[in-house]
Structure 1
């Protein structure tokens, strides 16, 4: 804990020192007549997310950065003939842009534009009806690629009868449907024929080709990446034109929700090339931090793991930072592929004492983390079970002893279940709790988890308040399009405060004592996420010297009834001092 606080303190001192140094270089006369600003925002409320001057009336922007914050009177010294003035009229509110620490924006935008999308709470008959509708609109030979069926359907789609129903609505088309966890695929018989999956097929390590319990025939359900890698290679590749359009659309979608910074949680070299190209040719309207894949490559010739990390700088551009590596330590609880400390509920396949399997031993993970840590590369580790969270913490502790305590700030992604004794270790080891997806309220995924570990254990989900109180750096994300079909951060922010489903689909509250107050939730989604992504000195708060990434809301969110937070939509979004989104009048 002391180590993380000292790092944060150093950051604050750097900014304060920079401001003092700048003042010292200006003559007394010049200090009274500051250079004019490009933009002045005044007549707040303005919520800065800074430790000092957390609320101000006004700020000024020049060359894409904040140059002043303070009172309405003082800011007028920065107004010249060419200064744009944005008056909040005392009712609108400005605050830093949202930073999402965990999402898959290219996939999300691509699926919105081109896939057979469906809501994750649909029952199986509705999923089949959606596939039938997509088949009707498809051209001969098209693959039907869709998302996202709810992982609570895993038992239903694990049977020969469900496969027969999928085949019936598929026509002659290959069909691949992703679940809401992103870790499983349900495919039809035509796909299995093309990739050679039969009753004799053996599941690759770390995955499962699920077979019908009665007949032993494959059901079409493929759990975890190794099981469906061959399928993904068969799907016709996304064209460069569509990928480019998806990347551009992602920026528009994020800006509309007020997002000005995002960490892509999984970047193959192919994805990284798209982000780099679009940023150079069009300019991304948000900070994009990449997490470089250590998985086997989907595309021949693509580098992965350490090989990709070592060439990451060739993909760096103005708004793209290939900073992180990405490791998967386990799968997801509904598929029984998450690693727990205690066993799952008994089933016919795994017996009475199965607690899941991690993808690394402690020695393997420690060696890999040591190599990345020594290179200064922070690592985002997917870990959903309390067993894999402990594995991550144990490995980081070993790495701190090998490489020293001042290495990069690693992330444990999702961290949905954490043993009580492990909660204080996040701060002690300077580890970020990446609490995504936005499921800290009752949901279909939570119900699916309860069906495999029991409701009592499943309800101990996302101990957010305990992490905050223990001094951990807690950062928020959506996991869009996994976990949630939308990138909307306001759903997640409300859920953090109420622990209830903002959309009202699922009743009740989930571990209500882990709710946090609204200022804490906003900080988690702004300054904390920026710091977690390595952007703490660049964005996340309205402070002199930082990038002018901010949003304007039509009212003071701190005065809004908490049950209405999910309805918030920014009126304007600014990135590097330029307006990148304006909400249409009357919408």
Structure 2
């Protein structure tokens, strides 16, 4: 049982009204008994509610509802602690040198796995010459492709005569030999050749990722669970609450699969959504567009499954009282997924993950159907380098149209897709409000789609009240109100009173999950 807590001298942004335009921060106190909030407001009244409570002095800093990331990859975040972390790196010579250093530390034949590199696909295979004795797999930052050396390609059975899969491409040199660049689904055989981790290892990586999340104020995650073998590792993690989204198999009866593996669980862990991936990523030119890419007219992306599979999944989960989430980035992908949702008939509460490029007609349709847009504000600024190039000026106006979606009545649930992007929710709030990139603590460049900015309050709602509704738990989470679960985040500043740049730099002092302090930066009173 959690100890009673009293948090005093806080600037409380409670998110307790349905309309963020009416939400205000107000000075006050919060009382917690066990795992529930029992009083909010006047300090004297809160002290009476919990007379023997441990006291936390907020010092005027913001107290927010626990923050929820609506698109997370917790295991992959844990892997950044042990695999080569290439996030933000684009210089292939520098990356190859890092791999070579790691190879010198490991016995020959040991796999070397990394993730996070950015930039365009390299034209020359440098990995194989620098690291011939270790199989190497370097996943692109967004997961939509990878680079592998010859040792890894051999183990995966990829050679000159290997055909391209329908959902990807093996890049080749002028002689027809694979260069090691594997676009979208072409990377699958190499990933499958990497020795699988056992249960204890998986659980340890989840714990490492959970610790990172708690330090950032994340008390809940809509987590993408790629395999049913992972499910046993989640209960008792003692981290953020996990609202699981289980990847559906490519083949087989989805009604049977959903009935066997989806479950309501409780507020700490449940798997209530089936997850499908309909197209690829925009940066890798795998997102499915209605017209060819502006900077590569030879392709328009990849459709990774038939529309009928989405309909089958939607009907299967609806019969069981569960929900569906579908990854869709390109405008054609979003159109086809919405077509499938309309065929299902009742799509309210279904979720489109990313919803990156939506025509005006489909933005209106998404809102009318009651579909939730699960968006990642940090992608707006992280993808500045290629969004306009990939789409061209006309289609770029339909990218990341957050303001228009909200104005049409859509529910915007915010996340990061970490570790594709930073898991820091305050970076996401800053990006949603400013649409500008930050470098070295300063904002640089023009705002991308400045007319699509949302207010700070709306961005916070995207990580709190609306994210809780997306989990089907807004009666328990998402706002600071008596009776709700005591998931709270205390900051080092009043987030509603500082500049946008200062929002991005906010530091979490305390993260409280179910009345228990799970992360503490400074001593309590």
Give the Cα–Cα distance (whole angstroms) in 1 for the partners of residues 259 and 190 of structure 2. Answer: 29
User: Which of residues 375, 378, 384 is equivalent to 2:329?
Assistant: 384
What is the Cα deviation at residue 102 of structure 1? 0.2
**Aligned partner of residue 242 in structure 1, secondary structure:** helix
Q: Which residue number in structure 2 is paired with residue 345 of structure 1?
A: 294
- 8 Å CA contact 1:192–1:198 kept in 2: the answer is yes
Tell me, in whole angstroms, the C-alpha distance in 1 between the residues paired with 2:444 and 2:9: 40
TM-score of the superposition, structure 2-length normalised? 0.92
Within 5 Å, which residues of 2 pair with 1:50-69? Answer: 50-51=16-17, 55-56=25-26, 57-69=28-40
More helix by share: 1
Q: CA deviation at 1:307?
A: 4.1
Stretches of 4+ aligned residues off by more than 6 angstroms: none
**Aligned pairs for 1:309-458 within 5 A:** 309-312=258-261, 316=265, 319-345=268-294, 347=296, 351=298, 354-400=299-345, 405=346, 409-436=349-376, 438-441=378-381, 443=382, 445-454=383-392, 456-458=394-396
Note if contact 2:262-2:273 (Cα within 8 Å) is conserved in structure 1.
Answer: no
- The match for 2:177 is 217
The match for 1:555 among 471, 482, 493 is: 493
2:438 aligned partner: 502
| Contact 1:461/1:510 (8 A) holds in 2 | no
Shift of 1:176: 0.2
The one of 153, 163, 180 equivalent to 2:120 is 153
Within a 5 Å distance, the mapping from 1:9-24 to structure 2 comes to: none
Q: Would the alpha carbon gap of residues 505 and 521 (structure 1) be closer, same or farther in structure 2, given more than 3 Å must change?
A: closer
Offset, 1:234: 1.6
Q: How many residue pairs end up in the alignment?
A: 515
Conservation of the 8 A alpha-carbon contact between 1:128 and 1:169:
yes
Shift of residue 309, structure 1, vs aligned partner? 2.1
Q: TM-score, normalised by structure 1?
A: 0.83
2:72 is matched with 103
Alignment of 1:190-339 (within 5 A): 190-212=151-173, 214-225=174-185, 227-276=186-235, 279=236, 283-296=237-250, 305-312=254-261, 316=265, 319-339=268-288
Which residue is equivalent to 2:468? 530
Q: How far has the Cα of 1:38 moved from its partner? A: 1.8
Q: What is the Cα deviation at residue 288 of structure 1?
A: 0.1
**Distance apart, 1:358 and its partner CA:** 2.2
Question: What is the match of residue 106 of structure 2?
Answer: 138
Residue 166 of structure 1 is matched in structure 2 by: 127
Alignment of 1:60-79 (within 5 A): 60-79=31-50
Separation (CA, whole Å) in 2 of partners of 1:455 and 1:219: 32
Which residue of structure 2 aligns with residue 25 of structure 1? none
Q: Pairwise mapping of residues 174-185 of structure 1 onto structure 2 (< 5 A)?
A: 174-185=135-146
Aligned CA distance change for structure 1 residues 306 and 208 (closer, same or farther; 3 Å):
farther
3-state SS, counterpart of residue 446 of structure 2: coil
* 1:446-476 Cα distance to aligned partner (Å, 9 max, x none): 4234443335534642011111111110011
Question: What's the CA shift for 1:305?
Answer: 4.7
Distance 1:361 1:141 in 2: 39
Alpha-carbon offset, residue 364 of structure 1? 3.9
1:187 maps to 2:156: no
Change (3 A) 1:149 1:477: same
Larger Rg: 1
1:520 corresponding residue in structure 2: 458
CA RMSD between the two structures: 2.4
Contact 2:254 2:316 (C-alpha < 8 Å) held by counterparts:
no
Structure with the largest fraction of strand = 2
The CA deviation string for residues 469-499 of structure 1, in whole angstroms up to 9 with x for no partner, is: 11110011110112x1x31111111011111
In structure 2, C-alpha distance between the alignment counterparts of 1:107 and 1:447, rounded to whole Å: 24
- 5+ residue gaps, structure 2, are none
